Amino acid sequence: MSSISVTRSSMPPLDEYVAEISSLWDSHWLTNMGVKHREFEAQLRSYLDVEGVALYTNGHSALECAIEALQLGADGRYKVITTPFTFASTTHAIARKGLTPVFADIKLNDFTIDPKEIEKLVDDKTCAILPVHVYGNICDVDSISNIAKRHNLKVIYDAAHAFGVRTSGDSVAKFGDISMFSFHATKVFNTIEGGALCYRDCRLSTILNQWKNFGITGPESAEYIGGNAKMNEFCAAMGLCNLRHIQEEIDKRKTVAHCYWRLLESVPGIRACVPPDETEHNYAYLPVVFNGSGTFVRDKVFEALSKRCIGARKYFYPLTSDLECYRGKFDSNKTPNAKYVANHILTLPMYADLSLENVEAICHIVKSAIQEGEN
Ligand SMILES: *Cc1c(COP(=O)(O)O)cnc(C)c1O
């Protein structure tokens, strides 16, 4: 078996991309909200079923923009309740905007932030909640919305993993004040690099769009000290192409995921995370928790796969609250579920064109490594 990486970026047929970008050789308009940018934005509004969409160079810049646009911290409340079981970006965005992350524990069943834990942490310095739809699993949005209303908090969802996910027919983009999507090459849907903010309050539109272009509002005016985070035409064109194939992409991933779940179902010491019936999932990742009695089983499985050139990821390990840059600031023992999951989880290879023969081979290696680890 040749090497298998943990993910593989989806690309449209080359001809299709060439056709999409060829008009740029006529217009010479390469960035600054050109035709592709505007068309892609409009198509996303429809696909994600949300009033407002703003495009960015990447998800992280979009997240920082969302924090600024909602003016978090401006009224003296500086704490943002969030999850430590996420990618560095989520926590960094809060810290880089001069705010203080406060970590709430996660639920063991789907790894999303636990509303009961949020409730315990809210105080008069809390201004917002920043949950993550981790692996595409939708947070307990109703409870979170309820807490936010009662305490006058903003809600920004990190929906970087959740493109295309729906629950009871509702698009994931509809929840909270703003949702951030990442279109990084490794995500279910990519624009090479890219990101978007989705919002319902149209009054946010001006600031969200000014922010990515230096706050410029006219040839001789800049009303806002904005940065630069405009999605360029080549990335928007990639988005237009990939969007045409998104359902096929998700369907293929679904077949791969079901194959994994079937093969791993009866293996003792393993728990795969199967989404609930009411969600249309995007099968972004294939997380598996190694919860048997043996210690370091997860690491043994990781090594066994690495030895055969199969990429798995300890995603997310460590917790962001344990990253070097935050050393001494947080105590990850206060989020025991998150700590447990970080120490026992592995995401297995997952992408649309992963063959089922390879899935079988991967599962076989996983099973043998568990048996060795348990003994
Ligand atoms: C990928 C990711 C981001 C950052 O998105 P970029 O587009 O890479 O900047 C943020 N949060 C989570 C959970 C992610 O997985």
Q: pLDDT per residue over 248-270, tens digit each?
A: 999 999 999 999 999 999 899 99
In the block, tokens 């027919």 appear at 169
pLDDT recorded at residue 149:
98
Contact 148, 155 (CB under 8 A): yes
What's the mean pLDDT in 200-210? 94
Tell me which residue has tokens 């995007």: 282
197 Cα to the center of ligand 1, angstroms: 12
Residue to mutate, 89, 139, 157, ligand 1, most ligand atoms under 8 Å from C-beta = 89
| % of the chain at pLDDT higher than 90 | 93
CA angle 200, 205, 210 (to 5 degrees): 155
Q: In angstroms, what is the span from residue 160 Cα to ligand 1's centroid?
A: 5
Substitution candidate for ligand 1 out of 132, 156, 182 with most atoms within 8 A of CB:
182
- In this predicted structure, what is the pLDDT of residue 217? 87
Q: Ligand 1: which residues within 6 Å by Cβ?
A: 58-60, 86-87, 89-90, 132, 158, 160-161, 182, 184, 195
**Token pair listed for 316:** 């997310």
Tens digits of residue pLDDT in 291-307 = 887 678 999 999 999 99
Size (the chain), residues? 375
Task: Quickly list H helices, 111-245.
Answer: 115-121, 141-151, 204-211, 233-244
The angle at the Cα of 94, spanning 89 to 96, to the nearest 5 degrees, equals 85
For residue 371, what pLDDT band results from cuts at 50, 70 and 90? confident
Closest among 260, 253, 280 to 351, alpha carbons compared: 253
> What is the per-residue pLDDT across 129-172, written as a single tens digit (0 to 9) for each?
999 999 999 999 999 999 999 999 999 999 999 999 999 999 99
Nearest ligand 1 atom to the CA of 182 is 7
Nearest CA to ligand 1 atom 7: 59
Residues 64-78: what's their mean pLDDT?
Answer: 97
Question: Of ligand 1's atoms, which has the minimum distance to the CA of residue 61?
Answer: 9
Whole-number pLDDT of residue 277: 86
Please give the mean pLDDT across all residues of the chain: 96
Mean pLDDT of 86-106: 98
Q: Which domains does the chain have, with CATH numbers?
A: 14-244 (3.40.640.10), 246-374 (3.90.1150.10)
- Give me ligand 1 centre to Cα 371, in Å: 35
Nearest alpha carbon, ligand 1 atom 10: 89
Tell me which residue has its CA closest to atom 6 in ligand 1.
59
Q: What is the DSSP letter of 134?
A: G
The reply to whether the predicted model has a pTM over 0.95 is yes
User: Is pLDDT of 375 > 70?
Assistant: no
Residue in 134, 158, 172, 180 to alter for ligand 1 test, most ligand atoms within 8 A of Cβ? 158
Residue 120 tokens read as: 């315990």
Q: Which atom of ligand 1 is nearest to the CA of 132?
A: 13
Half-sphere exposure of 109 (CA within 13 A, CB side): 7
Task: Kindly report, residue by residue over 326-367, the tens digit of the pLDDT.
Answer: 999 999 999 999 999 999 999 999 999 999 999 999 999 999
CA of 96 to the centre of ligand 1 (A): 15
Return phi, psi of residue 93, to 5°. -60, -40
Lowest model confidence (mean pLDDT) among 94-103, 222-231, 237-246: 222-231
Minimum-distance ligand 1 atom for the alpha carbon of 195:
7
Atom of ligand 1 nearest to the CA of 134: 13
